[in-house]
Amino acid sequence: MSSLWWGTYPADGLGTPVGKGEGLWRQDDDEAAEQVLELPAPSFLVAHPSRPLLYAVSEAPASMVHAIDVSDAAEPKLAGSVKTGGTDACHLLLSPEADELYVSHYGSGDVAVVPLFPNGLPAFESPIQSHAHKGHGPRKDRQERSHAHSATFAPDGRHVLVADLGTDELRRYRVGPGGVLEPDGVAATLPGGAGPRHMAVQGEMIYVACELDGMLRTMRWDPVAREAVLVDEQQITHAAPRSADEVAASHILVVDAMLLVGVRGPDVIAIFDLSPEGWPRYRASLDAGHWPRYFAAIDERLHVGCERGHEVRSYSLAHVRRLPPEQETGAIAELPYRAAKVTSPACIVQR
As a whole number, mean pLDDT of residues 306-311 equals 98
254 occurs within a structural domain: yes
Q: Please say which residue of 190, 215, 235 terminates a domain.
A: 235
Tell me the C-alpha distance between 313 and 339, whole Å.
5
In terms of domains, do 219 and 263 share one? no
Band of pLDDT at residue 19, cut at 50, 70 and 90:
very high
82 occurs within a structural domain: no
Tell me the C-alpha distance between 59 and 64, whole Å.
8
Q: Is the pLDDT of residue 1 over 70?
A: no
294 occurs within a structural domain: yes
Residues paired with 131 in a beta bridge: 111
Whole domain around residue 315: which residue ranges?
237-351
Q: Tell if the pTM clears 0.95, that is, is over it.
A: yes
In terms of domains, do 216 and 154 share one? yes
Q: Please say which residue of 175, 203, 235 terminates a domain.
A: 235
In terms of domains, do 255 and 243 share one? yes
In terms of domains, do 265 and 301 share one? yes
pLDDT at 34: 98
127 occurs within a structural domain: no
Q: Are 4 and 339 in contact (CB under 8 A)?
A: no
Q: Is the pLDDT of residue 286 over 90?
A: yes
Q: Please say which residue of 190, 216, 235 terminates a domain.
A: 235
Q: Are 222 and 205 in contact (CB under 8 A)?
A: no
Q: Give burial (CB, 10 Å; 0-12/13-18/19+) of 134.
A: exposed
Q: Are 68 and 55 in contact (CB under 8 A)?
A: yes
pLDDT at 250: 98
Per-residue pLDDT reduced to its tens digit, 261-271: 999 999 999 99
Per-residue pLDDT reduced to its tens digit, 203-218: 999 999 999 999 999 9
pLDDT at 55: 98
In terms of domains, do 215 and 246 share one? no
160 occurs within a structural domain: yes
In terms of domains, do 216 and 251 share one? no
Per-residue pLDDT reduced to its tens digit, 68-105: 999 999 999 999 999 999 999 999 999 999 999 999 99
As a whole number, mean pLDDT of residues 273-291 equals 98
Q: Is the pLDDT of residue 230 over 70?
A: yes
In terms of domains, do 198 and 260 share one? no
pLDDT at 242: 96
Query: Number of structural domains, the chain?
Result: 2
Q: Is the pLDDT of residue 253 over 90?
A: yes
Q: How far is CA 101 from the centre of its chain?
A: 14
337 occurs within a structural domain: yes
295 occurs within a structural domain: yes
In terms of domains, do 195 and 253 share one? no
In terms of domains, do 189 and 286 share one? no
pLDDT at 13: 93
153 occurs within a structural domain: yes
As a whole number, mean pLDDT of residues 113-136 equals 97
In terms of domains, do 268 and 252 share one? yes
